[in-house]
Amino acid sequence: MNDTLITNDTVVFGLLALCLGFVFYTSSISKGFWGKFYKVVPTVLMCYLLPSLLVSFNIVSDEISNLYFMASRYLLPAALVLMTLSIDLKAIASLGSKALIMFFTGTVGIIIGGPIAILIISIFSPETVGGNDFDAIWRGLSTIAGSWIGGGANQAAMLEIFQYNPQEYGKMVLVDIVVANVWMAIILFGVGKTKQIDKWLGADTSAIEELRKKVTLFSEKITRVPTLNDYMMLLFFAFTAVGISHFFGDGISSYLSKNSSAVADPGNFLSFLGSSFFWMVVVATFLGIFLSFTKAKNYEGAGASKIGSVFIYILVATIGMKMDLSKVLENPGLLVIGFVWITIHAILLIIVAKLIKAPYFFLAVGSQANVGGAASAPVVAAEFHPSLTSVGVLLAVFGYVVGTGGALLCAYLMEIASNF
């Protein structure tokens, strides 16, 4: 961290803007090398990988930078509002039950994946999955289960419950970040192959296509040349909503934590209600949906979802800063457990998607609603279409709800597997 070349966040933000500008400029070139390149590699994946290279070469550091905090707390709620202005709740409801089925399949994949990974690795390297008392590896892995099913609040709850050695906890955080981000990169790569994947899955994408067309037609109908007044109104909607989201998010989480023993207890499945980030996302989404019932939805014609997409891509770049490729082999044994674990999660998702003929969209968003949470699920959903952002948010909320309970079950199964 001391060797990081650039520590000034203003300069770091400029580098992220440079990365995004480079990607979008080169992706607009339809011929030659870049034309062929972006037929294989999705634009969003490049927006994600280039910042990770900056971290890997010690040019910038996510440990020093506060840009992810800025993007996730300020730009994410603003994007949620702008990208749900034109939402059609009836059309989203018509997407059916497959989204929920794939979400819960992803949850089950995490719950059973941990103990299975421990059993597999114990055959080849028993010392990797060993440890005694508070140094027991299964205790540390429980924090990853909390993160991958719910999010940061659930991860903290698992650390509190199982009292894993704090000096070793950093290794688990590394596994969580590296494996989750590599998996997100694979998911994003698949976005560019959606049609081929859906064809292989035999998926019925008619409801998704109908929603896309409906939103697109509405947007075309009201599209106009935006004026300064339009941009100022979009600024008003977005960042007033951000302020309201933080005000009520902090207030609700603080009130519940102080007045409910269940919420204050990290071991209770209701502990996620004490997370201000959770309530911030919920309030921002609610405000966006509320505005979709008013004349504010016509601001989609002035580019509301496009500005929201700009914020999302900045968030993608800051998420990319969390993946330091140079640390991939720092803890090979634990990383192998992580990759085996996420592979089991992926295989189960693919099997169920094939059985119920679910579109790749539901597989990708169902997985990220678990592994990535409220910061990543909307990113992946928006890459399919801005109108689908709210699907990612709603599924991520389910992740918070089942996070602690699912992680506890996973932890107890991992304890059994460790002593098998």
pLDDT (0 to 100) of residue 267: 61
Residue 144 has pLDDT above 60, yes or no: yes
Q: How many CA atoms lie within 13 A of 148 on its CB side?
A: 37
pLDDT (0 to 100) of residue 355: 93
CA 122, CA 85: separation in Å to the nearest integer? 51
Beta-carbon contacts of 85 under 8 Å, excluding residues fewer than 6 positions away, are 237, 288, 291, 292, 296, 297, 299, 300, 304, 305
Return the residue matching tokens 């044994």. Answer: 333
DSSP of 237-257: HHHHHHHHHHHHHHHHHHHHH
CA 113, CA 123: separation in Å to the nearest integer? 16
Q: Which pLDDT band, with edges at 50, 70 and 90, does 212 fall under?
A: confident
Residue 1 has pLDDT above 50, yes or no: no
Residue 294 has pLDDT above 70, yes or no: yes
SS3 content of the chain, % helix, strand, coil (to 5): 80, 0, 20
pLDDT tens column, 238-254: 999 999 999 999 999 99
Domain boundary assignment for the chain: 9-418
pLDDT (0 to 100) of residue 152: 66
pLDDT (0 to 100) of residue 393: 78
pLDDT (0 to 100) of residue 2: 59
Token pair listed for 70: 């800025």
Q: Which pLDDT band, with edges at 50, 70 and 90, does 21 fall under?
A: very high
CA 55, CA 59: separation in Å to the nearest integer? 6
Q: What pTM did the predictor assign?
A: 0.77
Residue type, 308: G
**Taking each helix axis from N to C terminus, what angle separates 166-191 and 137-149, rounded to the nearest 10 degrees?**
40
Highest mean pLDDT among 69-73, 87-91, 169-173, 240-244: 240-244
Percentage of the chain modeled with pLDDT above 70: 95
Work out the mean pLDDT of the chain and round it to a whole number: 85
Q: Which pLDDT band, with edges at 50, 70 and 90, does 158 fall under?
A: confident
State mean pLDDT over 199-221. Answer: 81
Residue 58 has pLDDT above 70, yes or no: yes
